[in-house]
Amino acid sequence: MVTKRGKQVHLDELPIESRTFLKLFWRQLKRSPLALASLFVLTVLYAMMILAPWISNTIAYDPKATQSSYVGRISGEHPQVNEPPSADHWFGTDHLGRDLFSRIVWGSRISLNIGLFVALVSILIGVSLGAVSGLHGGWIDSLIGRFTDVVLNFPFFFFAITIVTVLKPSFWNIVWAIALLSWTTICRIVRANILSLREQEFFLAAKSIGAGTVRIILRHLIPNTMAPIIVNATLTVAGAILAEAGLSYLGLGVQPPTPSWGNILFDGKQYFPQDFWYTFIPGLFIFITVMCINFLGDGLRDALDPKLSSEG
């Protein structure tokens, strides 16, 4: 007999629920209000990114309409250059008279996507190198280990700036520049995990029934190291968004006229401190996004790894 919702029930009467990875994970995550709130904010931000064309067509302005090209749609009045936030232009207008709210909405496409792509590329490089390293061992392991050390020696911003200036700042060059410096942690985690997993019996069992290396990696080893990979990928997204913003602040982000939160801030910097809101608003978006991702990452770590649940 067990107690369920205050009633005594026989064990056999309890419904059998299968606990998939996702369900377990959701159950844990629900306990952390901060992580849930962050997940909600991030969902809104990503929805905004996907709905950008619709938003600028219906409730905001065309992000490309400058003061001179502007045809009034809501109020019929010509917007001014560097207009402070108002009911008409929620975040004000920029130095060319473009609606800043609309540019922030469109800018999320660059900032949020760079985070995602950097994480994807880092996982791809980190997991494959880490898996090969841990599984193969021997000289390949040492080679990859030394190579990881070398990459860890590159000073992050100095190196990213070098790559971006030498190759020209574009979306993909920025993704590559950041990703090539971000895969090392994932690689080390995967390697260490695989080293301990290969000592366990299920690994031997899989091998003894003749499973190939690729199958063992994909079906047995990777799923078992999923938790730390996901947590680390989350932190990589946050780091990449900050790095892109930093590069943009130096004028080495995605180039205008494409808006990104970073290059809006870069433009606004010329009108600092008179038009303070111009730099404040894009920075606030970067800050909130990165903070939510960090909270979510922390919640995920607690949810996915019971051993760590009380630690920092």
Backbone angles phi, psi at 3, to 5 degrees: -100, 125
Q: For residue 69, give every residue at least 6 positions away whose Cβ sits within 8 Å of its Cβ, in sequence order, or none.
A: none
Instruction: For the CB of residue 71, give the shortest distance to another protein in the complex, in Å.
Output: 34
Instruction: For the CB of residue 234, give the shortest distance to another protein in the complex, in Å.
Output: 13
Instruction: For the CB of residue 291, give the shortest distance to another protein in the complex, in Å.
Output: 4
Rounded Cα gap, residues 159 and 162, in angstroms: 5
Q: Which is nearer to another protein, 2 or 44 (CB)?
A: 44
The residue within the footprint of another protein, chosen from 146, 201, 210, 214 (CB under 8 A), is 146
Q: How many residues bind another protein (CB under 8 A)?
A: 43
Q: For residue 43, give every residue at least 6 positions away whose Cβ sits within 8 Å of its Cβ, in sequence order, or none.
A: none
Q: Which of 212, 206, 286, 228 is nearest to 45 (CA)?
A: 286
Rounded Cα gap, residues 117 and 254, in angstroms: 15
Query: Does position 158 bind another protein by CB under 8 A?
Result: yes
Instruction: For the CB of residue 221, give the shortest distance to another protein in the complex, in Å.
Output: 27
Q: Which is nearer to another protein, 258 or 294 (CB)?
A: 294
Q: For residue 129, give every residue at least 6 positions away whose Cβ sits within 8 Å of its Cβ, in sequence order, or none.
A: 144, 148, 183, 187
The amino acid that residue 44 corresponds to is V
Stretch that binds another protein, among 16-24, 76-84, 156-164, 223-231 (CB under 8 A): 156-164
Query: Does position 269 bind another protein by CB under 8 A?
Result: yes
The residue within the footprint of another protein, chosen from 154, 197, 206, 271 (CB under 8 A), is 154
Rounded Cα gap, residues 4 and 231, in angstroms: 33
The residue within the footprint of another protein, chosen from 50, 226, 272, 306 (CB under 8 A), is 272
Stretch that binds another protein, among 89-97, 115-123, 126-134, 243-251 (CB under 8 A): 243-251
The residue within the footprint of another protein, chosen from 9, 276, 306, 309 (CB under 8 A), is 276
Q: Tell me the per-residue interface mask from 161 to 190 with another protein, x by CB under 8 A, - otherwise.
A: xxx-xxx-----------------------
Q: Tell me the per-residue interface mask from 277 to 306 with another protein, x by CB under 8 A, - otherwise.
A: --xx--x--xx--xx-xxx--x--------
- Whether omega before 273 lies within 30 degrees of 0, making that bond cis, reads yes
Query: Does position 270 bind another protein by CB under 8 A?
Result: no
Which residues here bind another protein, judged by CB under 8 A?
146-147, 149-150, 152-159, 161-163, 165-167, 238, 242, 245-246, 249-250, 265, 269, 272-273, 276, 279-280, 283, 286-287, 290-291, 293-295, 298, 310-312
